[in-house]
Amino acid sequence: MIKYIIKRILTIIPIIIGLSLLMFLLSRFMPGDPVRLKLGPNASASQIYAMQEQLGLHKSIIIQYFNYLTGIFRGDLGMSIRTGRNVAVDIAETFPATFELVVFGVIIAAAVGIPLGVISSTRYNKWPDFVIRIFSMSGIAIPSFLLAILLQLIFGYWLGIAPIIGRGDILPLKITGLNLLDSILTGNGAAFMDGLKHIILPAVSLSIATCAQIMRITRSNMMSQLNKDYILAAKSYGLPKNIVENRYMLKNAFTSVLTIIGMEFGSLIGNAFTIETVYGWPGMAEYSIKGLMYKDYNSIISVTLVIGLLFAVINIVVDIFYSAIDPRIKIGN
Amino acid sequence: MSENSLNYTPDTKAQRFKKQIRKLFRNKLTLLGFILVFIVIICGILAPIIAPYPGSITGVTNFGGMHLPPSMQYIFGTDEMGRDIFSRVLYGARYSLSMGVVVLTFSILIGVPLGLIAGYWGGKVNAIIMRTTDTFLAVPSIIMAMVVSAILTPNLVNTMIAVSFSWWPWITRLVQAETLKVKNEQFITASQGAGASKWRTAFGEILPNCTSIIIVKATTDMGFVILTGASLGFLGLGAQPPIPEWGNMVAEGRIYLPNMWWESIFPGLAILITVLGFNLLGDGLRDLLDVEND
């Protein structure tokens, strides 16, 4: 097991190197000079030269890449032209907010999507099935930013029951940077409630598409179990319906649901960008979008790498969960 | 031999096509998808004729009619420059549809040959191509598209390039997997035995077996490409104003929430309807062509 995990972690390295190379080459092809953009139109040639020198832009591109790559493994992601700080510091500040939002989104999506999928499959072609399917189809098709705006309008402006901007005003003592977790750890009830109130609308807007996908996959996998022999056997033994459905069928349907959850993390992170913009959520999105506008090389490459890394780690975690649920999957072979 | 079988004539191509179409639309949801897609396409094509205020697609200002709520005169209301939102939404269909078509055309042109080559040649070629797709897919497509779009300077054409850049690996993966499935079938061995070249076998024998899966993928992806393009537009990394692209219309209208809700909601609904239409149609095609759910 441990050997397998180490092996999987090692597979991340080529992906990160490939991704960093791709991003590095792309960023060097950028039209427009970030140094000029930063210093403004009145900068003298010597000022521009000095800053380019400071950023190491006069070295050959191979050496620049090599320096960057070795920097990554030292935790040095280079200086951000826009903020003037090390990108690692900027990311450490903004990453927890995005991570908290995405994790909360996944939890909502799974907590709602799996039961709906089960209901939909066991009431196949009856009205609950139709209602749930229409919900899931619209959930996949609705742009997350439209849903975010609608929820803001309804719950924020018209009903006035939920805040629509930011992460909250009462902050817990910072331990992990995840406000909800920190407030539980420090026993700060007020901060927890405030954080919860602030995260609920963004997280719901973020989770709908994923929730719909999870529901769809749960439904179709449950359906594929319906006519299997072991279900027939369990039923003829006289086992109660809900035990057959929840303990037998769902367990077998669950592995593919897990795959989808792993894959959906990607779209959640992607959608987090629009959601953070709508809700003024102080995460990586705002930071990277500004970085993109300012052609801030180092921050663009680094944000992409962090997301790539997160994505890879999540997929490994999903694989490990697999073996826990499905004993047929022997990890390590 | 019974009389029936003596008189049996196989369906002509046209008859078979008709039967397939009837089967496709027996599913009400597929029919709904088709109708939605049809409406969007018609809106896009006929926009110059049906738009009540074609002047609204440019950056003109009409200070007399700013921020008007939906009415008989302006059924979707007007925006911050007094432009008719309904006309702009109609024209928006053109940008979103061309976004989908261009991106998928490029992705298929790049992705399909690479997938066939990777799957059929195998070995080192396969490893190089598939590791490249892994690298591209290591971050979510929308983020890759955002980065490329920003690098190229965001505008309509560059957004299309950017989304294509992030989309082709999906097609490559799909076609590679499909190629591996049919690679060892007897008709492939027969083709090889008859002395057909590798290229001839890959593109003449394997490719036709991948068409249904590509069609289904392209239809469903139309919706997602349009959604990605709109998200980029919304973030300011796509088509730029005054182009009436749905995503950037939502972003422009968002500033005037909550009072002028119509300025962002109607373009947003247009995206929803288009994406829903393509998804439903794609699902129907998947069932009809009996392609595995991926």
Q: 3-state SS of chain B?
A: CCHHHHCCCCCCHHHHHHHHHHHHHHCHHHHHHHHHHHHHHHHHHHHHHHCCCHHHHCCCCCHHHCCCCCCCCCCCCECCCCCEHHHHHHHHHHHHHHHHHHHHHHHHHHHHHHHHHHHHHCHHHHHHHHHHHHHHCCCCHHHHHHHHHHHHCCCHHHHHHHHHHHHHHHHHHHHHHHHHHHCCCHHHHHHHHCCCCHHHHHHHHHHHHHHHHHHHHHHHHHHHHHHHHHHHHHHCCCCCCCCCCHHHHHHHHHCCCCCCCHHHHHHHHHHHHHHHHHHHHHHHHHHHHCCCCC
Range of the domain at A208: 92-285
Instruction: Report the alpha-carbon distance of residue A204 to residue A38 in Å, rounded.
Output: 37
Range of the domain at B34: 26-46+82-293
Cβ burial of A324 (10 Å; 0-12, 13-18, 19+) is exposed
Instruction: Report the alpha-carbon distance of residue B262 to residue A147 in Å, rounded.
Output: 14
pLDDT of residue B4: 54
Residue B51 lies in a domain: no
Residue A38 lies in a domain: no
Residue A157 lies in a domain: yes
Residue B54 lies in a domain: no
Q: Is the pLDDT of residue A330 over 70?
A: no
Between chain A and chain B, how many beta carbons pairs sit less than 8 Å apart?
A: 135
Residue B10 lies in a domain: no
Phi-psi category of A261—alpha, beta or left, where left has phi over 0 and alpha has psi -120 to 50?
A: alpha
Q: Tokens 């749960």, residue? A: A218
To probe the interface with A, which of B30, B31, B135, B158 has the most A CB atoms within 10 Å?
Answer: B135
What residues in B contact A221, CB-CB < 8 Å?
none
Residue A79's φ and ψ, nearest 5 degrees, are -90, 140
- Compare CB distances from B147 to A266, A293, A300 and report the shortest one's residue: A300
Domain tally, chain A: 1
Residue A140 lies in a domain: yes
Does the CB of B151 have a partner CB in chain A at under 8 Å?
yes
Does the CB of B141 have a partner CB in chain A at under 8 Å?
yes
Instruction: Report the alpha-carbon distance of residue B170 to residue B147 in Å, rounded.
Output: 18
Does the CB of B147 have a partner CB in chain A at under 8 Å?
yes
Over residues A297-303, mean pLDDT: 86
What residues in A contact B276, CB-CB < 8 Å?
137-138, 141
- Compare CB distances from B279 to A32, A140, A220 and report the shortest one's residue: A140
pLDDT of residue A237: 85
Over residues B139-157, mean pLDDT: 89
Q: Is the pLDDT of residue A31 over 80?
A: no
Instruction: Report the alpha-carbon distance of residue A149 to residue A71 in Å, rounded.
Output: 40
Does the CB of A220 have a partner CB in chain B at under 8 Å?
yes
Does the CB of B291 have a partner CB in chain A at under 8 Å?
no
- pLDDT above 90 as % of chain A: 18
pLDDT of residue A105: 94
Cβ contact A271–B142 (<8 Å): yes
Side chain identity at residue B29, one-letter code:
L
Exposure on the CB side of residue B15, measured as CA atoms within 13 A: 4
Residue A326 lies in a domain: no
Please report, for residues B35, B47, B245, the alpha-carbon distance to residue A311 in angstroms, rounded to integers and kept in the order given: 37, 42, 31
- pLDDT tens, residue by residue, A197-235: 889 999 999 999 999 999 988 888 888 887 788 888 888
- pLDDT tens, residue by residue, B109-131: 999 999 999 999 999 999 999 99
Residue A136 lies in a domain: yes
Which is nearest to B119 in space by CA: B40, B174, B164? Answer: B174
Residue A104 lies in a domain: yes
Cβ contact B153–A308 (<8 Å): no
Q: Tokens 């999957």, residue? A: A329
Residues 288-317 of A with CB under 8 A from B: 288-289, 292-293, 295, 300, 304, 307-308, 311-312
Q: Is the peptide bond before A96 cis (omega within 30 degrees of 0)?
A: no
**Residues whose CB falls within 8 Å of the CB of residue B127, separated by 6 or more in sequence, listed in order:** none
Structure tokens at A222: 């449950």
To probe the interface with B, which of A12, A17, A149 has the most B CB atoms within 10 Å?
Answer: A149
pTM for this predicted structure: 0.88
Any idea what the CATH number is for the domain that residue A240 is in?
Answer: 1.10.3720.10
Q: Is the pLDDT of residue A22 over 70?
A: yes
Residue A68 confidence class, pLDDT cut points 50, 70, 90 = confident
**Cα B225 off chain centre by:** 5
Question: What is chain A's mean pLDDT, rounded?
Answer: 84
Residue B76 lies in a domain: no
SS (H, E, C) chain A: CHHHHHHHHHHHHHHHHHHHHHHHHHHHCCCCCHHHHHHCCCCCHHHHHHHHHHCCCCCCHHHHHHHHHHHHHHCCCCECCCCCCEHHHHHHHHHHHHHHHHHHHHHHHHHHHHHHHHHHHHCCCCHHHHHHHHHHHHHHHCCHHHHHHHHHHHHHHHCCCCCCCCCCCCCCCCCCCCHHHHHHHCCCHHHHHHHHHHHHHHHHHHHHHHHHHHHHHHHHHHHHHHCCHHHHHHHHCCCCHHHHHHHHHHHHHHHHHHHHHHHHHHHHHHHHHHHHHHHCCCCHHHHHHHHHHCCCHHHHHHHHHHHHHHHHHHHHHHHHHHHHHCCCCCCCC
Does the CB of A135 have a partner CB in chain B at under 8 Å?
no
Instruction: Report the alpha-carbon distance of residue B102 to residue B98 in Å, rounded.
Output: 6
Which is nearest to A48 in space by CA: A57, A299, A295? Answer: A57
Instruction: Report the alpha-carbon distance of residue B21 to residue A240 in Å, rounded.
Output: 43
Instruction: Report the alpha-carbon distance of residue A92 to residue A88 in Å, rounded.
Output: 6
- Contact assessment for residue A98 and residue A272, using Cβ atoms and an 8 Å cutoff: yes
Residue B61 lies in a domain: no
Does the CB of A25 have a partner CB in chain B at under 8 Å?
no
- pLDDT tens, residue by residue, A115-162: 999 888 888 878 888 888 888 989 999 999 999 999 999 998 888 888
Q: Is the pLDDT of residue B29 over 90?
A: no
Task: State the smallest CA–CA distance between residue B24 and chain A in angstroms.
Answer: 18
Please report, for residues A193, A298, B50, B83, B174, the alpha-carbon distance to residue B263 in angstroms, rounded to integers and kept in the order given: 33, 37, 20, 10, 39
Side chain identity at residue A316, one-letter code:
I
Residue B1 confidence class, pLDDT cut points 50, 70, 90 = very low
Cβ contact A146–B272 (<8 Å): yes
Domain tally, chain B: 1
Residue B11 lies in a domain: no
Residue predicted with more confidence, A227 or A329: A227
Residue A60 lies in a domain: no
Any idea what the CATH number is for the domain that residue B165 is in?
Answer: 1.10.3720.10
pLDDT of residue A247: 75
Question: What is chain B's mean pLDDT, rounded?
Answer: 88
Q: Is the pLDDT of residue B230 over 80?
A: yes
Residue of A nearest to B128 (CA): A18
What residues in A contact B236, CB-CB < 8 Å?
289, 293
